[in-house]
Structure formats: C-alpha cells, structure tokens
Chains A and B, each alone.
Chain A
Amino acid sequence: MSVTTAWLALVALMIGPGMAVPAAPQPAGTLVVGLVAEPVNLDPAQVTDLNSNRVGRRIVETLATFPDESTQIVPGLAESWTVSKDGLRYTFKLRKGISFHDGTPLNAEAVKFSIERQINAEHPFNKLGKYPFANYFFGNVKAVEVVDPSTVEFVLKEPRASFLAILTAGAASIVSPTAVKKLGVDYALQPVGTGPFRYVAWDRGQRVVLERNAQYWKSPVKVERVIYRPIVEDQARLTELLTGALDLIVGTPPDFVAQLENNPKVTLLKQVGAHVWYLGINNQKKPFDDKRVRQALNYAVNKEAIVRDVLKGTGSMSAGPVLPGTWGADAGLKPYPYDPERARKLLADAGYPGGFTTSMWVPESGSGMQSPVAMATVMQSNLKAVGVNVTLQTFEWGAFIAKLRSKEQELFALSWMAGNEDPDMVMYPLLHSSQWTPGGPNRALYKSDTFDELLHQARLTTDQAKRAELYRQAQRILADDPPWIFVDHEIQTAVHSKRVQGFKLHPSFDLRVETISLK
C-alpha cells in the first residue's frame, strides 16, 4: 500500500464514521445546557463562581428564596418566619414532609448543621471545605438554635435588616447532614439536598448529569434529566446550539446577539440582573480626592456608546450601585449625561485645566466583567478627549485581584453581583469605610461619614419602607460625590432552541431550568 493510499484510507476512516453519525436528536426529556466553564464543585457554600452555583443550586435549596421572576424574598424551605422586635432573633417554621434526596428528613437539625459547619471552626465537618462566605454572610450569627424539629432560630450578634436576603444566598443552602458525614470531603462533588434535581454523575471536563427529583415539594419538574456541558469557546457553544446538540446556552457574546435575535431556529432572552459594572477610582489619591475631578470623569465617559456599541444592548446605563426598579433604588436618579464640556470645566475648577495623566487597571476577563478591555478602551479615549491621559494596563484576573490590594490603583475596572436586590448587599461591602481593601472589597477606598451612618442605620431598621428612604439618601450622596465612574448593569442573555418552553432568566443570575418543559 502506498503512503498516499494509506493516507486516504486514514482520512476515510476518520471522516466516514462522522458522516454516518448525524447529530442525533436528544432523547425526549433530556435538556442539554452549555455552560461557559466547568463548575468547580457543586456545594454552593464552597464556591464563588456563577457556573458552579447555576448547577449546585438545582440540588440544594434555602430557607428563603425568590419567585421565578424577581428577587423579592418569599418563603422557601421555611414556610414562614418571625423577626423579634430588637431584630436579633429570626425564627423559621420549616415546611413539613420534605426529604433530602437520600431520604433523610429536612429538619431544624439539618439547618443548624448546614450553617454551623461553615462558621464554627470546632465543628467536626468544618475542615472538610473552604467556606468563602462564612464570615461575610454569617459572621454576624451568634447561634443557630433548634427549637423543635420543625422550628429553628438564628440569633444575631447585632441587628442586620438584610439577613433574610443573606439567607437566599447559595451559601445558606440546607444540606443533608447524613450525606456530608458519609461523603466527607467528596460531598462538594456530589451534594445531596432537597432541590428539584438530584446529582447523578460528573464526567470531568465533559458533563454533569442531574436527574429529576420526583418528590419535589414545590411543583412537578417536567424535565427528566439535565446535562451541563462546559464549552469555553463562544463559537463552539453557539454552533452546538444551532446544530441542536445543546438546548440552552448562557453568556452570549455581544457580537452574536443581533444575529441570534433574528435566527428563526432559536429564541434569545434578555434580563437585566442584580449586577453593577464600575470603573473604580482611588478616592484617597490625588487628584481623585477632589469630588469635582470624579464628577468630571463621570461626565466625560460616554456610557451610551459603551452600552450600544461595545455591549450591543447587553447592558443598561448605571446611575449608581443599586439596580433601578428594585425597592431600594432612587427612581429620581439619572445616569451622568455625556458632557465633555462640563467635564473640562470641572477639571479646570479643580485646578487641572490641562488635565492630568493617570493609569487604568483592567482584567482581561472575569465573571461579570462583560467586555472589560473593549469597554476600558472606549473610556480611555473619552477621558483623553477631556485632557486626562490614561495608560491602560491589562491583567489576568488572579494577578489583577492581588494587585488591587496594594492600594496603589488609580482607575480600575470591576463589577459586583450581589445575587439579590437588597441595597445593603452592594453598597455596604463596596463603599462603607469599614470595608476598605485589603480587609474588605471597598477597593475605591471611599469614605463618607454621612453615607456610612445612613448604611448603618438602614441595617438596624427592619421596616422596609424606612430602609428604602435611608438608601435613597445614601444614593443621592453617591450621585453628588461619585466614588466610581458608574457604567452599566448587565443585561444577561440566554439562547434556547424551540423545543425549550417556559424558560425565564432570573435577575439573580440563577439558571432555573426546573421551569422548563420540552416540546
């Protein structure tokens, strides 16, 4: 056999079977979802990334939760709760008759176990995992007390009006203590909860398989199996969707949005999420310690152009950290208009008629960062137009986050996903002066005594209407004394095939595939 024939034979061997295997349709009842990256593990108390949460939260649930279309708090595994007058005791009545996927009952002990494994260093199962949110969410929890099998009480160290919002977070998921004890450190790879789907299998790098929980308490789950596939490359994810190998994908690159909107084979969904993208400013460094300079930067940046031309409609202009339309947002607040003339005047008033030179640190990518480099490049040219010469430096995410601890930043791009709409969960960590980096995430080193006091008061106030008023005042302070350049709130996208029915994107960025039925 000549080399050529051998070569042809090999090609035939390789291509032949491929042509013989057309993209077979999925078995009825199986939903295949394309994720942008592989989950790290499936225990929502041990992960910080969106992909892990989107899968893990199908398996475990929380005491308080959100309805399918908003981030207003409604009962979850707890059917009701009461808050003591002093705001220190939260008592939950659990729903009766709910079992974990391993058949053990959901009870007050399980709730106590789920939280204490994270916060109590002496807890026998504390060492099994790293709990990134333990302090941030539950540092204020003094004790979790079992009143009776279906009543559990959280005792706080000091009042925290956002505590119910905290209990909607993945970290507050209730796990099966029996399963944790049995599986040990491997629990994070195959969690056991009460959710609409149970864990079946995980082929590393390929797929995670979940199966319907036939006993699900809330509503019947219509999909038999969900398979999650990690596909990093955008074009590959999109091709798989368009050829029918995937039913649903999230994280559509902005450049594909228009093309997909007009594609009759698929449906594109959009939903603004509890997210904010900002260009942080080091408020302690000259010349940024002058609020006129920070105002000028806000006037100088053309947010409309960024949202329209870079994000192609996958962002909505931001006027502050709080998502417009939610209960804590100040409806009267408008985004800073694009006004380079005014920016130049403010800079001149602040003593910089000729502008100045500064640096901008930008991560190449990152969860919630949208298109960081392209967005930063637009801002760089906007700022140059008013005399501010910016050197753009890009970093890989891990290096970027480490660098921000140096406090040497001048301008820097970041985003925040609170996961819920409580204004405390975005303003307090990012802007309260007790949260300055490296101790907390206030990397703009913003400090305003009035603002700090308003946020503190709001934490002590349980009445939502009163809290809302305090937060509105706080937002007005930020609008006048901007700690960042406010840029946008992400409009998340998902694309699904026509066989997918009843799917909605959730403002918390959760991916609730349990609402889907397949045609």
Chain B
Amino acid sequence: MRRYLARRLLLLVPVLAGVSVVIFMVLHLSPGDPVEIMLGSQATQEDRARLRAELGLDQPLHVQYGRWLGHVARGDLGRSLWMKRPVLDEVLGRFKATLVLTGTALLLSSLAGVALGVASATRPNSVLDRLSAVASLFGASMPTFWLGIVLMVIFALWLGWLPASGMYAAYGGGDLRDLLAHLVLPAVTLAAASVTIIARLTRATMLETLGQDYIRTARAKGVVERAVVLRHGLKNALIPIVTVVGVQAGYLLGGAVLTETVFAWPGVGTLMVQGILARDFPLVQGCVLVVALSFVLVNLAVDLLYAWLDPRIRYE
C-alpha cells in the first residue's frame, strides 16, 4: 500500500510536467502578445521590444520554458507579468475560494445525486422516478451561466433572500454566516449539472445491484427493506458512483470558471480567465498547475477509496 502510494505520488511529476508543457505551448502559440496587451495601443515599437526583452519573451520557447521550469523546481512560480504580484501567493489565495465553492458543490451534488438515484431505483417508473428523469434532463442541458442568472434574479433580486455576488459582504461581514449566505447560489448553480449525472448513474447501478441474488437472499432472510437498499445495495453499487464523483470533482474545478464569473466569486477560475485574456503566461501556468495538481490528487483519493469500499481490491 505504502509503495503504491509512493509510486502514485511520484507519477505526479511527469503528469504535471506534461500538463505544463501543453499549457505553455498552447499559450505561446495562440495569437496575441502580452506586451501588446499590457502596453496598449499607444506604445511604440521600441517600447514593445524593450519590454519583450525585459520579460524574456524574445528568447526561443524552449529557453523560456526551461527558465520557468528552473524557477518552479525551486518553488518559485514567478511574478505575474500583468499584476506584478508573486504568482504563488495570488493563486493559493484564490484557490481557497475555489475549494470552498467546488467542495460545497461536490458535497451537494453527491448527496442529492445519490439520494435521487437511490429513490428512483427503488421505485422504478414511479412518479418520483419520472420527475427525476425530467429534472435530470433539464439540469444537464441548462447552461451554467443561465441557471446562475435565473437563480440570482429569483433569490436575490425578487425575493431578496440571498446576496447576489461575491464571497463576503463588501463592508466587513466576513464571518461564517456571511460566507454561507454568499455560497448558496453559486454552489447550487455549480452542482446542478453534476447532480443529474450522479443521480442517473446511481439509478442505473442500483437497479443492477438490486437485481442480484444476494439482495434476494437478504430479502428472503427478512432484512428490513431500508437495510437491503442501503447496506446491501448501495454499498455494493458505490464503486462506479465514487468513480463518477471523482470525475465530477475535476469537472467542477473546471466548471467553476463560469460560475465564479457570474457570481463574482474570487476564485482561481476568474483569475485564470483574466490571465488568459492578458496572456499572462506565469499566472496562467500557476493556475493550471494548481488545478491539475488537485485534480490528480482527487483521482488518487478515489483510487484509495476503492480499497476501503471493497476490501477485495488490493494495491501491490
């Protein structure tokens, strides 16, 4: 187990290196020039050339990449070209907000998804099952920004129950209640699509599991229906569900970009968008690195969870 974990953690290095090469190439090969964007249209040719040299952007790509990698190896993600702040501080500060948002959304979508899925599977073709199917279709096909705006108009503008944007009230606030109030709309918006995916998958796996012989045996033994469904059924159906929840975690981290923009949530997604628009290479690299790292770690956690859920699974 320990060797497995060590191997998996070591594998992080090539994965992250690969991610960084890809993002580096994509950024540098896409049209647009940070110097041009930073200096605006009044800048002269010499201004641009000077700044380009100052930032090292006149070097060949492999030299630029090598230099960046050298700094990263020493734990220095550089300074943002555009905001002048150290990238690491900036990204980590924002990443906390993203974790709060995606974590809540993941919790919300897992609980609601599994609950809906189990309920549908135990009463297939019931009204609840049909409703859940319709809701799922709706949830999966609604664009995040649209749902976000609709929820905002209803709960913030019309009903006045919840704040419309931000993570805390602008003037002070800052306690847990304030945070939770600001969290509801973005978290629900972000969770919506995942709920439906998890619910549909849970329903399908549960239907299959509940058709197994051991379920019939359990029922024959006179086990209470709830225990049959939850202990014998759900526990055995969990492996694919955990897999899809892991995938959803990655999706939520990525999907947070739109939700964060709609709700002015100060997360890493909005930072990344700003960085991409400004062609702020070190900043975008830093954001992607942190998001990729967390995605890989979530995957690892999911793999470890398998062994815990099903003792037959062993890592050697």
Contact = CB atoms under 8 A, between A and B. Distances in A.
Interface of A: 2-4, 6-7, 10, 13-15, 17-24, 26-27, 30, 32, 37-38, 40-41, 48, 127, 129-130, 132-136, 139, 185-186, 188-189, 203-207, 225, 227, 229-233, 235-237, 239-240, 242-243, 245-246, 395-399, 401-403, 405, 416, 429, 438-441
Contacts of A27: 171-172
Given A17-B176, A405-B36, 6 more contacts: A139-B44, A205-B266, A235-B152, A236-B164, A236-B264, A245-B169
B107 to A, nearest CB: 7
B263 A401 contact: no
A133 B161 CA distance: 47
Contacts of A235: 149, 152-153, 262
Interface stretch (B17-25, B80-88, B207-215): B80-88
The A interface is mostly helix, strand or loop, or mixed, namely mixed
Contacts of A403: 31
Interface in B157-185: 157, 160-172, 176-178, 180-181, 183-184
Most buried by B among A15, A204, A205, A227: A205
Contacts of A398: 31-33, 36-37, 277-279
A227 B261 CA distance: 20
Contact of A41 (B40, B84, B180, B187): B84
Given A40-B82, A227-B171, A439-B44, A399 B267 contact: no
Nearest to A49: B40
B180 A48 contact: no
A406 to B, nearest CB: 10
Given A132-B42, A240-B164, A438-B45, A402 B177 contact: no
A25 B164 CA distance: 15
B143 interface: no
Contact of A7 (B83, B115, B261): B115
B38 A132 contact: yes
B76 interface: no
Contact of B267 (A136, A205, A239, A402): A205
Contact of A10 (B38, B111, B261): B111
B38 A48 contact: yes
B270 A233 contact: no
Given A3-B118, A48-B40, A233 B263 contact: yes
A403 B32 CA distance: 8
Nearest to A229: B170
Query: Interface residue tally of chain B, by bracket?
Result: 35 or more
Interface string B121-163: 0000000000000000000000001000100110011001111
Contacts of A245: 163-164, 169-170
A196 B209 CA distance: 70
B238 interface: no
B97 to A, nearest CB: 7
A9 B307 CA distance: 30
A24 B177 CA distance: 13
Interface in B187-221: 187
B161 A19 contact: yes
Return the 9 tightest CB-CB contacts between A and B, nearest first.
A205-B266, A398-B32, A48-B40, A399-B31, A136-B42, A18-B181, A239-B164, A3-B115, A236-B165
Contact of B51 (A40, A130, A185): A130
B178 to A, nearest CB: 6
Contacts of B36: 398, 401-402, 405
B271 interface: yes
Given A18-B162, A135-B44, A3 B262 contact: no
A23 B163 contact: yes
Contacts of B187: 14
Contacts of A227: 170-171
B32 A401 contact: yes
Nearest to B48: A438
Contacts of B274: 37-38
Interface in B243-298: 261-267, 270-271, 274, 277-279
B262 A203 contact: no
B157 A239 contact: yes
24 contacts: A7-B115, A10-B107, A14-B184, A15-B184, A20-B177, A23-B160, A24-B169, A37-B274, A38-B274, A41-B83, A48-B39, A129-B84, A130-B38, A136-B42, A203-B266, A204-B94, A205-B265, A205-B271, A206-B266, A233-B145, A239-B164, A246-B170, A401-B41, A429-B42
B296 to A, nearest CB: 25
Nearest to B117: A3
Given A205-B266, A233-B261, A398-B279, A243 B156 contact: yes
A203 B32 CA distance: 29
B270 to A, nearest CB: 6
Contacts of A242: 157
Contact of A232 (B114, B162, B264): B264
B57 interface: no
B15 interface: no
Nearest to A425: B42
Nearest to B30: A399
A389 B279 CA distance: 34
B47 interface: yes
Nearest to A239: B164
A207 B274 CA distance: 16
Interface in B59-95: 79, 82-85, 90, 93-94
A189 B262 contact: no
B78 to A, nearest CB: 13
A13 B176 CA distance: 12
Contacts of B114: 3
Contacts of B267: 205
Contacts of A243: 156-157, 160, 163-164
A439 B165 contact: no
Contact of B262 (A13, A19, A205, A236): A236
A43 B171 CA distance: 24
Given A6-B111, A10-B111, A396-B32, A40 B83 contact: yes
Contacts of B171: 26-27, 30, 32, 225, 227
A396 B83 CA distance: 20
Contacts of B41: 401, 416, 441
Contact of B31 (A231, A246, A402): A402
